[in-house]
Structure 1
Amino acid sequence: MRFALSEDQKLLQDSVTRALEKLSPLERVRRFADEGQATAPDIWAGLTELGLPGLTIAEDHGGLGLGLLEAAIAAEALGRAVAPTPFLGSAVLAPLALTLAGSPEQQALWLPKLAAGEALAGVAISEPIAGARDGAGVQAASGRLSGKTLFAIDAVGADVLVVADRAGGLHLAQSAQAIAQMSSIDATRRLSELTFDGTPAEPLASNQALERLRDAAWILLAADTLGAAQAMLDKAVAYAKERRQFGRVVGSFQAVKHLCAEMAADLEPARALVWYAAYAFDHAPEEAPLMAAHAKAHLSEVGRFVARTSTEVHGGIGITDLLGLHYWFKRIGLNRQLLGGPERVRETAARLQGLVA
């Protein structure tokens, strides 16, 4: 039994990582954040050439037909580069919703466009998963949606929207009454508030699609945090090797060594957890909900520890905009809360195990 990535998966990892080094250097990320750009079409175009939009879409619809583990590998690379580009909603969750619950007509219309990068899809599923805030929630009746939904993913510039109602049903809408950008700590991604007022929408088949979307989202958010935390650890180690104090590099001091070792010790086993959760999603579906919850909750805690400790290793410069470490710090922070904080996710895990009523 193999407990490592295959050669093809390693090739995917290397290809995405190298592409992002060129497409999304820190200067490009900073420009996206400072100028308040809605999208980064140059980065998305480069990733489209790699086939990332169609990563999980079946070959019959023009995609690569790969699994969630490959999507997690890509998400880890995107988190490592804090890439300001759509992926979670448009390339994974929306295709998954269409594959699981879409009609043949809906699949034939949208999946080839999404696979080719010719269309973007937004996903709004926060309320039934993470709980409603500020009176948010969408009602569905007679093929129309009403209400508002918060924290929609990849909805800016989207050609189609996958929307969950309060009862957990999924719907396909080509527009919303209004799409307002929401403020968050993470300037590398755009979250939206969608408002519906009798907006026409096509229902997707009623099954357990929402739960599968939740599990996939939790795993990919954990993978994104894994990549961002690894980048922060690498930056801390590199800084400790070159920064000199009292005539010595600070990495030679025992206290700094311990900080770096603790980050590495916490982060390395988390990688196996994320990879197995992604593997289980496709190959051990009975385990997937619990593994997804464990991955999301655990990486939320490990990511926060690494983000804080890496900043401490850098000293005062760690909190400056000049260094840019805060982009990774804030990305980890948003991942922690998006679609449910660790406390709520652990409650779900407890229910799955029958530990609470």
Structure 2
Amino acid sequence: MRFALSEDQKLLQDSLTKALADLAPLERVRRFADDNEPSAGDIWAGLADLGLPGLLIDEEHGGLGLGLLEAALAAEALGRAVAPTPFLGSAVLAPLALKFGGSAGQQARWLPRLAAGEVTAGVAISEPIAGARDGAGVAAQGGRLTGKALFVIGAEGADLLVVADRTGGLHLAETAEAVEAMSTIDATRRLTEISFRDTPAQPLAEPPAGKGALHRLRDAAWTMLAADTLGAGEAMLEKAVAYAKERRQFGRVIGSFQAVKHLCAEMAAELEPARALVWYAAYAFDHAPDEAPLMAAHAKAHTSEIGRFVARTATEVHGGMGITDLLGLHYWFKRIGLNRQLLGGPERVRETAARLQGLAA
């Protein structure tokens, strides 16, 4: 068996990386993040021309019919560019929710429009995965939703909401009582707080089947966040190495100093094995589903830790310049920070991994 990316997979990631260099250069990211632009629709429209929104949607509904490994390669490229897109919600979690729990009618209505990039979807699944806080949580009864969801992914301007209730059931809603922006460290992606008050919603799979669907969404989301962190870490390492080659101190480039060499080597040594872990977690989602929950947990927890190390170390290599807005290094730093905590920090995710292995009381 050949354990490597296929030529098509390499081409997919390379093409996306090149497209993002034009669609989402750092100055475009700055405008979205610092000028508080309402959306980055131009970036998503450009990616839609490449078929990215339909990556996981079957060909019958207008998509490409690819797997989570291809989605992870895309997430890695998006993290490398710190691109502000609704990829996680609209291209990954919403299509998977419809695949695992949607009726034929729901799939026919939404999947072609999601694949074409005509609509976007927000996903509210944080409470049953990472634990409720501040009185949050959504109750479902009689086709209606009531309650509050925090840390909702991609809901700003979305046409569709995938909502998990307290029991793990999934629902589709097209409206909400209120959608309010939440303040986070990462300005390249926006999370929201959504309130429901007797809001009409269509159920997807009901528990216990619905809880199984939620767990599949959790595994996919953890893997995508790990891939995003991997890409952001790779970008920070590349920037640190490039800076070390040009910054001069005491008449020499700082990259010639042994201490700086060691810092860069340590970052590379942490990132390289993580790539295989993330790719296998994505592969397992489709081809080894019994292994997928544990591999997704390992990928999320491990990249959360090494991502923080790489973010800190790359900033140290840049010295005082690393904390200035001039280089924009903070966009990657903060993106890694949000990925670490979103849908469960590494401590909580490791606890889930321990339970999956029967190692927790």
**TM interval, short-chain normalised:** over 0.9
1:246 aligns with 2:250: yes
User: Aligned to 1:180, what secondary structure does the other structure show?
Assistant: strand
Contact 1:297-1:345 at 8 Å conserved across structures? yes
Structure 1 residue 4: deviation in Å?
Answer: 1.2
Aligned to 1:43: 43
- Give the alignment of 1:66-105 within 5 angstroms: 66-105=66-105
Return the alpha-carbon distance in structure 1 between the equivalents of residues 5 and 181 of structure 2. Answer: 38
1:322 aligns with 2:315: no
Return the alpha-carbon distance in structure 1 between the equivalents of residues 2 and 340 of structure 2. Answer: 30
1:213 aligns with 2:228: no
Amino acid at match of 1:20: L
Structure 1 residue 3: deviation in Å?
Answer: 1.5
Structure 1: runs of 5+ lacking an equivalent: none
Structure 1 residue 133: deviation in Å?
Answer: 1.2
User: Aligned to 2:318, what secondary structure does the other structure show?
Assistant: helix
- Give the alignment of 1:189-268 within 5 angstroms: 189-206=189-206, 207=209, 208-268=212-272
User: Aligned to 2:39, what secondary structure does the other structure show?
Assistant: coil
Aligned to 2:14: 14
- Give the alignment of 1:179-190 within 5 angstroms: 179-190=179-190
Return the alpha-carbon distance in structure 2 between the equivalents of residues 36 and 2 of structure 1. Answer: 46
Return the alpha-carbon distance in structure 2 between the equivalents of residues 14 and 108 of structure 1. Answer: 31
Aligned to 1:302: 306
- Give the alignment of 1:55-204 within 5 angstroms: 55-204=55-204
User: Aligned to 1:123, what secondary structure does the other structure show?
Assistant: strand
Amino acid at match of 2:350: R
Amino acid at match of 2:246: E
Structure 1 residue 218: deviation in Å?
Answer: 0.1
Contact 1:242-1:249 at 8 Å conserved across structures? yes
Aligned to 2:336: 332
Deviations 1:144-192 (A, max 9, x none): 0000000100101111100000111100001111100111000000101
- Give the alignment of 1:283-298 within 5 angstroms: 283-298=287-302
Amino acid at match of 1:277: A
Structure 1 residue 39: deviation in Å?
Answer: 1.3
Structure 1 residue 32: deviation in Å?
Answer: 0.4
Structure 1 residue 321: deviation in Å?
Answer: 0.6
User: Aligned to 1:224, what secondary structure does the other structure show?
Assistant: helix
Return the alpha-carbon distance in structure 1 between the equivalents of residues 354 and 236 of structure 2. Answer: 31
1:25 aligns with 2:34: no
Amino acid at match of 1:335: N
Return the alpha-carbon distance in structure 2 between the equivalents of residues 211 and 136 of structure 1. Answer: 20
Return the alpha-carbon distance in structure 2 between the equivalents of residues 176 and 153 of structure 1. Answer: 14
Amino acid at match of 2:97: A
Q: Percent identity?
A: 82
User: Aligned to 2:163, what secondary structure does the other structure show?
Assistant: strand
Return the alpha-carbon distance in structure 2 between the equivalents of residues 237 and 50 of structure 1. Answer: 31
Return the alpha-carbon distance in structure 1 between the equivalents of residues 37 and 205 of structure 2. Answer: 35
Return the alpha-carbon distance in structure 1 between the equivalents of residues 64 and 37 of structure 2. Answer: 30
Deviations 1:114-171 (A, max 9, x none): 0000111110000000001111000001100000000100101111100000111100
Contact 1:137-1:166 at 8 Å conserved across structures? yes
Structure 1 residue 2: deviation in Å?
Answer: 1.3
Amino acid at match of 1:185: I
Amino acid at match of 1:272: A
Q: 1:312 aligns with which of 316, 319, 333?
A: 316
Deviations 1:38-91 (A, max 9, x none): 210110010000000000000000000000000000000000000011100111
Alignment: residue pair count: 357
Contact 1:267-1:302 at 8 Å conserved across structures? yes
Return the alpha-carbon distance in structure 1 between the equivalents of residues 101 and 341 of structure 2. Answer: 27
Return the alpha-carbon distance in structure 2 between the equivalents of residues 259 and 334 of structure 1. Answer: 23
Return the alpha-carbon distance in structure 1 between the equivalents of residues 111 and 175 of structure 2. Answer: 18
Contact 1:38-1:190 at 8 Å conserved across structures? no
Aligned to 1:345: 349
Deviations 1:285-321 (A, max 9, x none): 0000000000000000010000000000000000001
Return the alpha-carbon distance in structure 1 between the equivalents of residues 194 and 90 of structure 2. Answer: 16
Return the alpha-carbon distance in structure 1 between the equivalents of residues 194 and 167 of structure 2. Answer: 17
Amino acid at match of 1:337: Q
| Runs of 4+ more than 4 Å apart | none
User: Aligned to 2:123, what secondary structure does the other structure show?
Assistant: strand
Deviations 1:263-300 (A, max 9, x none): 00000000000000000000000000000000000000
Return the alpha-carbon distance in structure 1 between the equivalents of residues 197 and 41 of structure 2. Answer: 30
Structure 1 residue 109: deviation in Å?
Answer: 0.3
Structure 1 residue 233: deviation in Å?
Answer: 0.2
Structure 1 residue 203: deviation in Å?
Answer: 0.5
